[in-house]
Structures are given as structure tokens and as C-alpha cells.
């Protein structure tokens, strides 16, 4: 299929968008709160996986999965939490984005629960040893922390996870035909002119 010019039928104003989609129900608008209440704190404490959305100053976006033991996120108070940044591949996509643009979005998942907790706010990359020590894993504190000043929290409806059947193993596709991650990794390197010896 040849490349499509998306701008040909682009929706460019809220008025155009509302004409197609309509207005949200008042309850949907008012479900958003500006701090971490006891429900939010409970969900965060049970979540082993979150997705961190960032963008740099130019608007280039990234979404990064962050997995850890439930309860590892450090909730400092009703307005702040800290995500540990454990050693990884040193690309630092999220960290570099936050340094140039602090606006972030978080999605917290809990296995078996089809609703997700969404949090929006402003992030700071910091190196406070006292705070980081409290998030040690196997005796090692994270090298950095991502401090989040919470601005908005709300529960997102279950439709996406329900329709995807993500928690139902009987609906999962057979991954036997999927190439290994190493095969994908080396093939992508080859596309960039890098040959990897087997």
C-alpha cells in the first residue's frame, strides 16, 4: 500500500472533533482529582508495572515500561511520588526527555484488573541518597529517582484491557513463530549498517 497523506482528512480543531465524537458526560470530566487519595495510593502500591510517557522540548515522544516489585514506588505524600530508575542500557530516553520537558503521563497496571490508574504531572530527575535508599532492590539502591509532582489522577475505564483479553491466557496468540528478541535486535542493527558476529 502506498503512503497515505494523513493531512488530507485531518481533524485540526476541537470543534471538528466534538462534531464527530460529541461531549463527555459530566461524571467522566469530574472523575479527575489533583492529588493521591487512599484509593490511588492503594492501586500504586499493588502495581508491578507502569508506563511512563515523556516528550522532549521539541515534542518528540517516548513511552517506557517500568517494572518493579509491587510497593517499590515511593509515595512521599498526597502530591508526590518517586519512581526508581534502575541501571539499564544507558540510552536514558525518558530521563533525557524529562530534563528538557518535565511534563509526564503515567499508566499503572495491576494484573487481573481491567481498569488502569492514570496520573499526569511534572517530573524531576534527582539523586537524593536518603530517598533512593528506601527503594533498594536486592541490597542496591537505584542510581536515580524520578520525582513526580502529581497534577491529575483518574481511573481509566476497562474497555482497552477487556477487549484485548490481556489477562486471559486462553486468548493469547501462539508466540512460537515470533523471532527471538536477539534475532530482531541483530536484524535492526544490520539495517543501520552494524554487523554483529554470531
Write out the DSSP string of 105-170: EEEEE-TT---EEEEEEEEEEE--HHHHHTT-BTTB--SEEEEEEEEEEEEEPSHHHHHHTTT-GG
Nearest residue to 121 (alpha-carbon basis) of 151, 83, 145, 101: 151
Between 40 and 29, name the one with better pLDDT.
40
Task: Check whether 198 has a pLDDT greater than 80.
Answer: no
Do residues 81 and 144 touch, judged by C-beta distance below 8 A?
A: no
| Domain limits, the chain | 25-172
- pLDDT classification of 163: cutoffs 50, 70, 90: very high
* Neighbouring residues of 62: CB distance < 8 A, sequence distance ≥ 6: 53, 54, 55, 93, 94, 97
pLDDT bin (cut points 50, 70, 90) of residue 197 is confident
**What digits encode the pLDDT tens for the residues 81-93?**
999 999 888 999 9
Cα separation, 109 vs 45, whole angstroms: 11
Domain 25-172 top-level CATH class:
mainly beta
Residue 147: predicted pLDDT = 98
At residue 194, what are phi and psi to the nearest 5 degrees? Answer: -110, 120
pLDDT at 73: 95
**Given this model, what pLDDT does residue 87 score?**
86
Residues 165, 166, 171, 174: is their CA dihedral positive or negative? positive
Amino acid at each position: 500500500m502506498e503512503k497515505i497523506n494523513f493531512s488530507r482528512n485531518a481533524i485540526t480543531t476541537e470543534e471538528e472533533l466534538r462534531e464527530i465524537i460529541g461531549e463527555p458526560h459530566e461524571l467522566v470530566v469530574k472523575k479527575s482529582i489533583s492529588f493521591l487519595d487512599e484509593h490511588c495510593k492503594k492501586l500504586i502500591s499493588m502495581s508491578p508495572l507502569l508506563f511512563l510517557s515523556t516528550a522532549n522540548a521539541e515534542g518528540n515522544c517516548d513511552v517506557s515500561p517500568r517494572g518493579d516489585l509491587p510497593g517499590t514506588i515511593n509515595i512521599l505524600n498526597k502530591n508526590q511520588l518517586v519512581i526508581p530508575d534502575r541501571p539499564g542500557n544507558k540510552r536514558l530516553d525518558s530521563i533525557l526527555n524529562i530534563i528538557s520537558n518535565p511534563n509526564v503521563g503515567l499508566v499503572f497496571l495491576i494484573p487481573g484488573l481491567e481498569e488502569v490508574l492514570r496520573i499526569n504531572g511534572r517530573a524531576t530527575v534527582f539523586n537524593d541518597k536518603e530517598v533512593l535508599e528506601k527503594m533498594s532492590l536486592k541490597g542496591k539502591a537505584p542510581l536515580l529517582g524520578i520525582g513526580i509532582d502529581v497534577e491529575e489522577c483518574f481511573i481509566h475505564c476497562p474497555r482497552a484491557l477487556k477487549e484485548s483479553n490481556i489477562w486471559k491466557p486462553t486468548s493469547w496468540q501462539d508466540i512460537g513463530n515470533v523471532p527471538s528478541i536477539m534475532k530482531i535486535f541483530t536484524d535492526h542493527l544490520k539495517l543501520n549498517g552494524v554487523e554483529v558476529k554470531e
